[in-house]
Chains A and B, each alone.
Chain A
């Protein structure tokens, strides 16, 4: 099955700096890669996603890059703000035998220091 590795597990940045979180996946057939933000005690919420036919996608201060050859994808947050503090999860969607699995990384706890 799919295996998703995520680094770092914790990340502290000064307000206004950039934050980068990296993930690798194992199943070359995976073709959809969402990123979720989870605040303490709340549900995971999608912040950005990318499909395998695209190399980069940007939405305001958030961008995601995908390297299919190397099987890794990254989340970039620029001009970080205190409200960006949360746990971020990457995920990869794989399919087989008519079923689908969205496999998550173990998460990165981002702390933005005012």
Chain B
């Protein structure tokens, strides 16, 4: 594809609802990152995939957050029992190499609002 694509662009969830956010990386990109960006803040690392392997999930804030990339391409970030503090923009990025020194391309993000 032309770039990293995320869907939906906007999601409003009622508190306690489960949500799933999708990321379509650039075809052939090995590395995939998920970030959480609160209003007026920098992106905060959530998790990293190399192909289908989730090599780092140290940034996931709680066990309500789960990410997968089963076939090494499309990735889904799932948040269970959403809470108001989960409201943020969730950014996905992919890069060609395994992570070392190659440009990370970002998607437009999914803006999640929990009401």
Contacts and interface: CB of A to CB of B under 8 A. Distances in A.
Interface of A: 1, 6, 31-32, 34, 36, 42-46, 49, 51, 89, 93, 95, 97-107
Interface of B: 4, 31, 33, 35, 40-45, 48, 50, 55-56, 58-59, 91, 93, 98-101, 103-109
A89 B45 contact: no
A6 B42 CA distance: 10
A46 B106 CA distance: 9
Contacts, number: 70
Contact of A100 (B4, B44, B99): B99
A100 B98 contact: yes
Contact of B106 (A45, A51, A97, A98): A45
A103 B35 CA distance: 10
B43 to A, nearest CB: 5
Given A93-B99, A93-B100, A102 B41 contact: no
A100 B107 CA distance: 19
Nearest to B107: A43
- From A6, A42, A45, A99, name the one whose CB has the most chain B CB atoms within 10 angstroms: A99
A49 B33 contact: no
24 contacts: A31-B100, A31-B101, A43-B91, A43-B108, A44-B106, A45-B106, A46-B104, A46-B105, A89-B42, A95-B99, A97-B55, A98-B50, A99-B48, A99-B56, A99-B99, A100-B31, A100-B48, A100-B99, A100-B100, A101-B48, A104-B42, A104-B44, A107-B40, A107-B42
Contact of A51 (B91, B101, B109): B101
